[in-house]
Amino acid sequence: MTEGMKEIQEMSEMKEVKDMKEMNDMNEMTELTRMPRQTEVTNDRYFALYYTPYRIEPKVLIEDFGNVTKKECWSIISVCIFGSVFALNIALNNFSLGYISIAVNLIIRSCLPLTTFLSQQGLAMFGLYPLKPWKFCEIFLMTLGVFCACVFTMAKIMGAGSHGKSSSNMILGVIICVLSLLCGSLNLALAGVLGEMKLNVYDTVAYMSIPAFLFLLPFAMFLDKPVPGEWPQVFGVDHATDWQILRQVAVIAPKTFALFALSGVFSFMYNIVQFSIVHTLSPSATAFGGNFNKAALVFLTLILPFLQVHALPGSPYIEVIWAAVIGNVCAFSAYSYLQILEKEKAKTAVNPEEKVGFTSDKEVEDWSSGSDSSEDESAAVC
């Protein structure tokens, strides 16, 4: 009986070794060097705030829980909406990349300045943000850029249909990407609102992490999604939740899991930089600043074959695509130039020292005090 138990134990050990070898072979065969895209919308970036050697103490939103003021209540609501919209923006954007190419995704998201401007105006109607003037030239350039983006997207969809590919999935991806765009513009506008509430960038990112984590948690734990690529052969299932995928990847590809965790740190740093620009300049200026890297990536995906997820359509669609990309970049570049000129005029208005001479120390002191008040007023407007 003892010898039989030993044989069973040896067979069990041999089976475990064989299973591990098959798993390693499968890992090498499928080249599991990245995680399924869905898991990138989970909560890794929000842990980076708490698992670092640096401790950030955010501003207290409620001074007395027994006597919560209307302003404090609105601050809590704004932070919750801000975190949820931020999470939804990333989730929808990553989900859309499963149906459309990165070029289409980037050209749609290049319309962010116009949607952000409209979001600011909408918040201003409720007294939550300063009302910005409607300047015809700026609105025209932003609208022209959006029109070129629409032409680009239509050419890609029609080009895919001419090659016998299904365009229904691409249309779904475009709709999801547009929803992500609207969430992104509202996110930037709300970041400006939180800046008006005297929350600095660290307060903004710190408080954003909590509602964003809670918002994504049910989707990560309970929502089954199709497992892409060769991963179903490894997992043994066609559908899985983000949490199940995360646990499997931690065992199968620990190096990939480490990179996944590291992305949370970089995301936290990126959010600090982005919201610093929002608080310093304006949401629409921040939205436009992100267009330069989008334009560069779109050009690279059109020129370099190894960056192309889908083959480029033939004539006449490819010519329309190039014309639309160039028109989009030129329109938003001209808009950027107008923004730079406006900033220079504002600097000249609050720094007349370059043009006006002073005859006494008292005049210098008077001008300095006036300049400080003007800068405070301009900061409040921005």
Condensed to tens digits (0 to 9), the pLDDT of residues 188-219 reads 777 767 666 666 777 777 777 777 778 778 87
As a whole number, mean pLDDT of residues 325-334 equals: 81
Indicate the residue type of 298: V
pLDDT in tens, 128-162: 777 778 888 888 888 888 888 888 878 877 876 66
pLDDT for position 367: 38
pLDDT for position 368: 41
Q: Does the residue 13 lie in any domain?
A: no
Q: Does the residue 328 lie in any domain?
A: yes
Give percent of the chain above pLDDT 90.
0
As a whole number, mean pLDDT of residues 28-53 equals: 48
H helices within the chain, ranges in order? 2-30, 44-47, 70-96, 102-109, 112-125, 136-162, 168-196, 201-222, 231-235, 242-252, 254-280, 283-289, 291-303, 317-350, 361-381
pLDDT for position 293: 61
Q: Does the residue 20 lie in any domain?
A: no
Closest CA to 170 of 147, 153, 188: 153
pLDDT for position 287: 61
Is the pLDDT assigned to residue 50 strictly greater than 80?
no
As a whole number, mean pLDDT of residues 296-301 equals: 73
Is the pLDDT assigned to residue 179 strictly greater than 80?
yes
* Of the listed ranges 113-122, 296-305, 348-357, the one predicted with least confidence: 348-357
pLDDT band at 285 (very low <50, low <70, confident <90, very high): low
pLDDT for position 351: 64
In b/e form, how buried is each residue of 138-177, taking b as 16+ CB within 10 angstroms?
beebbebbbebbbbbbebbbebbeeeeeebeebeebbebb
Q: Does the residue 6 lie in any domain?
A: no
Quote the number of domains for the chain.
1
pLDDT in tens, 349-358: 766 554 444 4
pLDDT in tens, 83-109: 788 888 888 887 887 777 777 787 787
The owner of tokens 């008292």 is: 362
Is the pLDDT assigned to residue 376 strictly greater than 50?
no
Q: Does the residue 23 lie in any domain?
A: no
Residue numbers of the domain that contains 155: 34-381
Whether the CB-CB separation of 220 and 42 falls below 8 Å is answered with yes
The owner of tokens 């990536």 is: 297
Q: Does the residue 281 lie in any domain?
A: yes
Whether the CB-CB separation of 220 and 242 falls below 8 Å is answered with yes
Distance separating alpha carbons of residues 207 and 59, to the nearest angstrom: 9
Which has more confidence, 40 or 80?
80
Average pLDDT over the chain reads 69
Distance separating alpha carbons of residues 269 and 205, to the nearest angstrom: 10
pLDDT for position 42: 44
pLDDT for position 143: 86
Q: Does the residue 21 lie in any domain?
A: no
pLDDT band at 382 (very low <50, low <70, confident <90, very high): very low
* Of the listed ranges 112-126, 138-152, 270-284, 347-361, the one predicted with least confidence: 347-361
Q: Which residues contact 130 (CB under 8 A, 6 or more apart)?
A: 124, 380, 381
Q: Would you say the pTM of this structure is higher than 0.85?
A: no
Whether the CB-CB separation of 286 and 204 falls below 8 Å is answered with no
Q: Does the residue 372 lie in any domain?
A: yes
